């Protein structure tokens, strides 16, 4: 579907076209009309499907009419990185509208955030903790908010923000529109949606399943050999951007340092960094100054780099939902990507759960030339053993496909030969942020 058929403001359409996009993604096609009609919406979609634009565009359209210079829209998400990603999309799609925004999160000074609201920002993009802190200090109110967006609601629940969300809801006017976006739908989020949304339109896109443009492979290895295997594997991957996931922030920091010592352009993204350091790591990864970014699950929320070629799980994800979130960082916007997971004998249960989610048996690989008989490093083995001690969840079975083959996805086949979508140089493109 073309964006022109949605009835969006002409300035927004010009901004969309200036970014090179003409076609909606499925989540945008199904949610934008409902949001424009004032309906509450539950959008279930994985990373990389265009969900950010799915709520940013109709919110901007709404704010173009009505009063200015007061806070009318509130977007709440779990992390600073996601807030910055949303801000970037807002800047591109809201150019020339005169609408103002402010980001509100911890780790930086309060006063610029307070000033942003008091000086007339119509949109606030906030993390729950800092927002409640400022509200508790009576720095501003939410009395004029017309639209609330809860982005990545499942991750906010995982991080323990559900009580904070309920406190924020109590400060909103009774009459407001609520949009809830989530990759998965845990029972707690389902209950929250039932409590706070009025007759919502529910849109579910590829619920809880990784992108179909990703090729999956497992690398069985001893715990203490993981770093050595990673160093050797990276030599075979070319110059693409590589995102490596570890279970703990200490492990991420140490691994990035080890890779840098081995001559790789690597940085870490983890919770012990200041906001300035986190932003520098992200900017370096986006610009290509860092080829490799080593991250934890929470710190990686909000990474918006379209051309990540490989995601490598050095440590097995805690849940299959975490696997989906991690893998969603590659194979985005009609590009293909590779997802490699290092596994040990202790990970067999988690592997079976992931394979049930995918619907096929994942290919097992061995790296040619790597010495698997070499004794593991004791310190590294102990570190990995501690990281691997947390349990893994299960997932529903889905349809199967042959092992070792790459998904085609809805962007292939006739669609790829006709109106081509975002990701092709000469293509009509889908907005997938």
pLDDT digits (tens, 9 = 90+) for 237-247: 988 899 999 98
Asked if 176 and 237 sit in the same domain, the reply is no
Residue showing tokens 């520098």: 280
Are 258 and 355 in a shared domain? yes
Residue 224 lies in a domain: yes
**Residue 209 Cα distances to 11, 85, 203, 212, 328, angstroms:** 35, 22, 15, 8, 9
- The rounded distance, in Å, linking the Cα atoms of 123 and 71 is 6
Q: Which of 205, 240, 257 is the last residue of a domain?
A: 205
CA 311 to chain centre: 13
| Judgement on whether residues 139 and 218 belong to the same structural domain of the protein | no
Examine the domain organization and report whether 154 and 279 are in the same domain: no
Same domain, 330 and 226: yes
Q: Can you tell me the distance from the alpha carbon of 244 to that of 340, in angstroms, rounded to the nearest whole number?
A: 9
DSSP 147: E
- Burial letters for 359-370: b for 16+ Cβ neighbours within 10 Å, e otherwise? ebbbeeeeeeeb
For residue 391, give the CATH number of its domain: 3.40.50.300
Q: Are residues 231 and 197 in the same domain?
A: no
Contact call for residues 307 and 282 (beta carbons, < 8 A): no
Asked if 335 and 429 count as a contact pair (C-beta separation under 8 A), the reply is no
The pLDDT of residue 329: 77
pLDDT of residue 170: 96
> Domain residues for 48?
3-205
pLDDT of residue 137: 97
Whether residues 87 and 12 share a domain: the answer is yes
My answer on whether 199 and 220 are in the same domain is no
In what order do the strands lie in the sheet containing 241-245?
A: 266-269, 292-295, 241-245, 308-313, 337-343, 214-220, 363-364
Q: Lowest mean pLDDT: which of 136-150, 172-186, 268-282, 387-401?
A: 387-401
- pLDDT exceeding 90 applies to what percent of the chain? 58
Q: How many domains does the chain have?
A: 2
Q: Which residue has the higher pLDDT, 408 or 153?
A: 153
Nearest to 368 by CA among 267, 229, 270, 268: 229
Q: Is residue 245 part of a domain?
A: yes
Q: Are residues 178 and 158 in the same domain?
A: yes
> In 10 A of CB 200, how many CB atoms?
18
User: 318 and 200: one domain?
Assistant: no
Q: Does a structural domain hold residue 185? A: yes
**d(Cα 7, Cα 65) in Å, to the nearest integer?**
14
Note whether 143 and 230 are same-domain residues.
Answer: no
Region 359-369: mean pLDDT is 94
- Final residue in a domain of this structure, among 151, 171, 205: 205
Q: What are phi and psi of 27, to 5 degrees?
A: -65, -35
Band (pLDDT 50/70/90 cuts) for residue 423 is very low
Residues 162 and 230 in one domain: no
Confidence band (pLDDT; 50, 70, 90) for 113? very high
Do the domain assignments include residue 413? no
- Does 428 score more than 50 pLDDT? no
Is 35:195 a contact under the CB 8 Å cutoff? Answer: no
Can you tell me the distance from the alpha carbon of 234 to that of 242, in angstroms, rounded to the nearest whole number?
9
Confidence of residue 427 (pLDDT cuts 50, 70, 90): very low
322 confidence band (pLDDT: 50, 70, 90): confident
């Amino acid at each position: 579907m073309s964006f022109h058929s949605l009835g969006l403001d002409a300035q927004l359409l010009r901004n969309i076209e200036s970014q090179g996009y003409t076609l909606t993604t499925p989540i945008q096609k199904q949610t934008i009309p409902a949001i424009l009609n004032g309906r509450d919406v539950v959008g279930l979609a994985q990373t990389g499907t265009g969900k950010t634009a799915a709520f940013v565009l109709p919110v901007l359209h709404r704010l173009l009419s009505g009063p200015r210079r007061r806070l009318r829209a509130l977007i709440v998400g779990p992390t600073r990185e996601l807030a910055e990603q949303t801000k970037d999309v807002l800047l591109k799609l809201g150019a020339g509208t005169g609408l103002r925004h402010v980001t509100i999160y911890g780790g930086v000074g309060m006063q610029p955030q307070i000033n942003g609201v008091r000086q007339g920002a119509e949109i606030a993009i906030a993390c729950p903790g800092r927002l409640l802190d400022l509200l508790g200090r009576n720095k501003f109110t939410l009395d004029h908010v017309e639209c609330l967006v809860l982005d990545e609601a499942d991750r906010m629940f995982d991080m323990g923000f559900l009580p904070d969300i309920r406190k924020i809801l109590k400060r909103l006017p009774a009459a407001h529109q609520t949009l809830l976006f989530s990759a998965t739908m845990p029972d707690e989020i389902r209950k929250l949606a039932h409590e706070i949304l009025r007759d919502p339109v529910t849109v579910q896109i590829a619920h809880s399943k990784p992108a179909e443009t990703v090729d999956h492979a497992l690398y069985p290895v001893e715990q203490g050999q993981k770093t050595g295997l990673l160093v050797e594997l990276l030599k075979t991957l070319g110059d693409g951007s590589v995102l490596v996931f570890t279970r703990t922030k200490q492990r991420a920091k140490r691994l990035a340092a080890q890779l840098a010592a081995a001559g790789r352009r690597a940085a870490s993204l983890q919770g012990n960094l200041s906001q300035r350091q986190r932003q520098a790591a992200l900017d370096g990864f986006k610009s290509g100054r860092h080829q490799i970014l080593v991250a934890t699950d929470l710190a990686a929320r909000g990474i918006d780099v379209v051309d990540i070629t490989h995601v490598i799980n050095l440590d097995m994800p805690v849940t299959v939902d975490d696997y989906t979130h991690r893998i969603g960082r590659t194979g985005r916007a009609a590009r293909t990507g590779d997802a490699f997971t290092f596994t040990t004998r202790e990970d067999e249960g988690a592997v079976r759960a992931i394979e049930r989610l995918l619907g096929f048996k994942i290919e097992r690989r061995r790296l040619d030339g790597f010495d698997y008989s070499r004794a593991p490093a004791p310190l590294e083995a102990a570190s990995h053993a501690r990281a691997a001690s947390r349990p893994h969840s299960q997932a529903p079975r889905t349809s199967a496909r042959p092992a070792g083959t790459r998904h085609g996805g809805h962007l292939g086949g006739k669609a790829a030969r006709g109106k081509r979508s975002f990701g092709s140089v000469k293509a009509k493109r889908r907005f997938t942020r």
